[in-house]
Amino acid sequence: MQRAAVLALSGLGVPESLRWHEGALWFSDLAHGTVHRWDGRGEPETVLKVPGRAGGLGWLPDGRLLVASMDEGRVYRLEADNALVEHADLRHLVGGPVNDMLVDLQGRAYVGNFGFDYHAFSRKHPNSLLYAPPGPPKAPIACLAPDGSLLGLTEPLLFPNGTLLTADGTALVVAETLAMRLTRLSVNADGTLADPRPWAALISPILWRLVNHPGLPGRITRRISALLDHPSLAKRSAAPVAPDGIAWDIDGETIWVANALRGECVRVAEGGRVLNRVATSQHTLSCLVAGHDGRTLFAATVPTDDPVRAAALNGGRIEMLRL
């Protein structure tokens, strides 16, 4: 029997970028541009409002908060006196909103971006039409030094999103949302990333080839996929999985994936084998295994990821399940 998460918080816009820091759950609200802290009691605390909508979160070794500004193409830093200052300007590097971000123990930040205006496209077209040749634009991950200077860029990826570091810090796993896969990159001594290779495919190879086909088979597949995009049909499907946020399981080897296509978190092994599914009430954008004992699966869910619609609905939720 599939287990289901239970409601923890509601009335949010687009909760995202779940983090556990100093005994509390932190998250951004992409619709309202705010960063929140929740200790598990009462309502979450609003820590700050970020110009250009808050995105990915992380902390420098000295405890200062870094937060991505999605629409400004910047990373901000919250100083000890609560002054919000520019940490890095990425506008010349990004093709769309700045997205999720991972900050490692040395203070190096790895920042992804959409590569294009995804929401403008999705308001007019089914997602499947993104794959009509030449396909969706790709985007690199920006690798930043602790002082915010640019260390380098990765090879272009298909919507680089949630990221994880391996326990030994030698590799980073990134969710390529629009490629429906998890990709592993090696972490070089200087903090740059290289040598991307598959960690887990979350779509069948046949379907992936068909949806990207330039000829008639591709047009037919994209048309059928567009019909199946209807929420009442999508929630009954088991595949494919579009990975958004990702989190290590308590075993440190398998990965929980927030499935942006439907209401679930999926635990997968390297190679792509699905091990568990946890149902959520809405589409899931971020997940995290944390809590005071490290055994709670948190999920950020939304009725829509469109920030304009979500800001009006305030239907975003945090859901949770003890593993």
pLDDT tens digits for range 5-24: 999 999 999 999 999 999 99
Beta strand ranges found along 53-131 (DSSP E): 54-59, 65-69, 74-78, 84-89, 98-103, 109-113
Task: Name the pLDDT band for 239 (thresholds 50, 70, 90).
Answer: confident
pTM, entire model: 0.96
Q: For strand 181-187 and strand 193-201, is the pairing parallel, antiparallel, or unpaired?
A: antiparallel
CA distance 166 to 208: 27
State yes or no: pLDDT of 129 exceeds 90. Answer: yes
Contact 67, 102 (CB under 8 A): no
What are the structure tokens assigned to 192, written together? 């740059």
State yes or no: pLDDT of 55 exceeds 90. Answer: yes
Task: Name the pLDDT band for 229 (thresholds 50, 70, 90).
Answer: confident
Give the pLDDT of residue 261. 92
Task: Name the pLDDT band for 231 (thresholds 50, 70, 90).
Answer: low
Give the pLDDT of residue 232. 63
